[in-house]
Structures are given as C-alpha cells and as structure tokens.
C-alpha cells in the first residue's frame, strides 16, 4: 500500500515542505530568507520570525502542488534537530498542531540523516541512482563535516567528524575576510574557476584517524591575507580568484584524503556526498575523479537536494514510519547533534 508523507524542514533559515508518495517526490517547496545576507550570517531571531510567516503558505503550496489534501497524509515528518532552536520550534509546533487537527501520526527526523537519505528520493518521471548498502557518505555542510557509514536507512554510524570548524564554515569565514557576500561558499566556487589553484599554499591539518579539522587552514588563510595586504592594500582585489582557487583545492583535498582512508579501512566502494557543500564543483569533480582511480561507484545529489529541503526529511520519515518509529506528542526540538544520539 502506498504511503504518503508530508515533510517539514525549519532547522536554519529555509522554510520547506514536501510531499512524497513512498519515495517518489510529488512536491518540494522552499522559502529562503534574504534578510540575513546584509548581516553576513544567519540571525536566529530573524530566522524564527520568518519561519512563522512562511510555514503556513509553504505547507499549503506543497500540498496543492502534490494534489494531496491533509486527510490523505499518512504521516508528518519534521526536523527535530540539530539546528537553531527557535527555528526548529516553529516547524515542530506546526507539525504537532496539524497532527492534532487531522489525527495524523508524526515522525521525528535527524536533519543530518535526512541529507544522507536524500540519495533515495526518486522523481515522478525518473528513478535516480541509489547507493547499495553499506555505503559511505561524506556529509559536508556549514555546520557539520562527517564521514558516515550507512548500513541501512535506520543504521547510520559516524566514523569521522570535525573537531572544530566545518568545511562550510571555513568557506564562509574566509569569504568574509575577502569581502564576499554571504553565503560565501558558492561565490568562492564561482571565482575559483577563474583562478590558479597553485598560487597559494595553506596549512593542512594533521588529525588522527578519520576526523577533520579546518581551523588551522582558516587561520593560515587569514595570516596570508594579512601579510600580503601589509605590502599591498589592493592585494585581495588583485588576487581574489587565485585565493579562492587555492582555498577550494585545499579544502577538497583534505576532505577526499580522509574519505579515501575510510574506504580503504572499511572496504566499502559505494561512496556518496551530501549537504550544502556537496554542490561545490571542486568537490563534485574531485570525488568523481577519485572514484575513477579507485573503482568506486560515486553518488552526487541533485543540486536541489544539496541545500536544506523538506524532501530529504520526508524520505527519512518514510523509512522511519515504515518501521513503526513514531514521534510522541511531547517530542521537543534540540539544537545539538549530541542530544539526538
């Protein structure tokens, strides 16, 4: 029997709702918040207010685009965490209200697992490539960098993580130093295509096992810019593309070096990437090239599933609902990943 899931995502600054029938996407609506750009980062209070304004029209649009009414929904999947507490609270509270009003079961979803399981979304007109279990997923976003072993939709183990800054943070903080707009990652990616990736050398971390560190790279970048600007105040403007190209190359190489090590240690050769930074062209090209050298099957998410979206929450909720993992009415949002484990 078909299962229809309404997904709700509000962990940061995007309000999103999606409808899936089994794992086939029927609609995926996202309302982004432009208000944060002028501040160079997300302002939690402003994000919460925007979610309150957006949540009802976004959910209504998702249902109408899917051709589904609320009484035909089998379950509501919502992001419980991690994320901004005020933003999460809007989505969780709305899900509870809709659940009570229509007597619909709820399923709570780990936002990061949603990114990983986005590889199992299909479109109405075509089936997308799915990795086989077990597979490794490099999850790279603004707040998290992890290597995850995925044995099933419900068996997910973090085998490597960042001990300080995430890769996305490194992109955004270095972009801010260069005066680039927020979010900085996509701008760096675009400028990198015009620069020489061998122009600068930045510090690389030495971290044991499969863990990551990007704080030293970020500091090395800052010192390079500071020292060069002392000699030439117009240094950034003159060498912006080269800085972006060298920074992106370094981050991608750091990410892939540990991923190669994880594949060797586990013997797993189905390799996926997910999260906002998985849209980066350097990382996408790098993992494909590495896969060709090492005999991997590589899986890149559709661009529309790289950023925060409710489709990934719905597909994760679909698997949890199938296994009877329902949320209780007292389920509360949590900001930190550790509170979900």
| Tens-digit pLDDT profile for residues 89-101 | 999 999 999 999 9
At 35 the pLDDT is 63
The phi and psi torsions of 100 (rounded to 5 degrees) equal: -70, -45
Residues 138, 4: Cα–Cα separation, whole Å: 29
Instruction: Give the model's confidence band at 43: pLDDT under 50 very low, under 70 low, under 90 confident, else very high.
Output: confident
What is Dmax (Cα atoms) for the chain? 69
At 183 the pLDDT is 87
| Helix, strand, coil content of the chain in percent (nearest 5) | 50, 20, 30
pLDDT tens-digit series, residues 230-264: 999 999 999 999 999 999 999 999 999 999 999 99
At 47 the pLDDT is 84
Residues 80, 110: Cα–Cα separation, whole Å: 6
User: Does pLDDT of 133 surpass 80?
Assistant: yes
Look at 41-45, 181-185, 283-287, 289-293 and tell me which has the smallest mean pLDDT: 41-45
| CA angle, residues 43, 44, 47, in degrees to nearest 5 | 85
Instruction: Give the model's confidence band at 118: pLDDT under 50 very low, under 70 low, under 90 confident, else very high.
Output: very high
Spatial CB neighbours of 121, under 8 Å, sequence gap ≥ 6: 20, 23, 24, 25, 128, 305, 311, 312, 315
By the 10 Å C-beta count (0-12 exposed, 13-18 middle, 19+ buried), 258 is classed as buried
Helix (H) or strand (E) holding 274: strand 270-274
Q: Which of 261, 269, 273 is nearest to 295 (CA)?
A: 269
Cβ neighbours, 10 Å, residue 212: 23
At 39 the pLDDT is 61
At 38 the pLDDT is 65
Q: Which two tokens stand for residue 226?
A: 């500071």
Q: Which two tokens stand for residue 50?
A: 């925007």
Spatial CB neighbours of 33, under 8 Å, sequence gap ≥ 6: 13, 14, 15, 42, 46, 47, 50
Q: Given the DSSP bridges, would you call strands 155-161 and 145-152 parallel, antiparallel or unpaired?
A: antiparallel
Q: Which two tokens stand for residue 332?
A: 């509360």
Spatial CB neighbours of 293, under 8 Å, sequence gap ≥ 6: none
pLDDT tens-digit series, residues 30-41: 997 666 566 667
Helix (H, G, I), strand (E, B) or coil at 298: strand
Look at 17-21, 242-246, 305-309 and tell me which has the smallest mean pLDDT: 305-309
Residues 245, 188: Cα–Cα separation, whole Å: 8
């Amino acid at each position: 029997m078909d299962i229809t899931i309404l997904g709700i995502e509000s962990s940061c600054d995007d309000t999103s709702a999606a409808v899936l029938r089994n794992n086939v996407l029927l609609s995926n609506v996202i309302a982004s918040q432009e208000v944060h750009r002028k501040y160079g980062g997300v302002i939690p209070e402003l994000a919460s207010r925007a979610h309150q304004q957006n949540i009802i029209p976004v959910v209504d649009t998702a249902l109408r685009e899917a051709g589904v009414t609320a009484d035909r929904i089998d379950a509501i999947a919502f992001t419980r965490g991690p994320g901004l507490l005020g933003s999460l609270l809007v989505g969780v509270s709305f899900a509870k209200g809709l659940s009570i009003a229509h007597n619909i079961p709820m399923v709570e979803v780990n936002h990061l697992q949603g990114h990983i399981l986005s590889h199992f979304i299909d479109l109405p007109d075509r089936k997308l490539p799915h990795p086989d279990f077990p597979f490794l997923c490099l999850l790279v976003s603004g707040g998290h960098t992890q290597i995850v072993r995925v044995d099933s939709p419900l068996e997910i183990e973090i085998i490597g993580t960042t001990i300080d800054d995430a890769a996305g943070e490194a992109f955004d903080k270095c972009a801010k130093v260069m005066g680039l707009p927020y979010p900085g990652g996509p701008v760096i990616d675009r400028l990198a295509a015009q620069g020489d990736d061998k122009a600068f050398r930045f510090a690389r971390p030495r971290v044991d096992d499969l863990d990551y560190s990007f704080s030293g790279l970020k500091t090395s970048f800052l010192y390079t810019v500071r020292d060069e600007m002392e000699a030439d105040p117009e240094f950034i403007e003159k060498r912006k593309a080269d800085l972006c190209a060298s920074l992106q190359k370094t981050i991608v190489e750091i990410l892939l070096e540990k991923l190669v090590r994880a594949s060797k240690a586990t013997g797993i050769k189905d390799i996926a990437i997910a999260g906002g930074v998985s849209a980066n062209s350097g990382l996408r090209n790098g993992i494909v090239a590495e896969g060709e050298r090492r005999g991997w099957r590589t899986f890149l998410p559709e661009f529309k599933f790289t950023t925060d979206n409710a489709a990934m929450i719905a597909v994760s909720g679909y698997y949890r609902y199938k296994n009877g993992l329902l949320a209780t009415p007292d389920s509360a949002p949590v900001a930190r990943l550790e509170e979900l484990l």
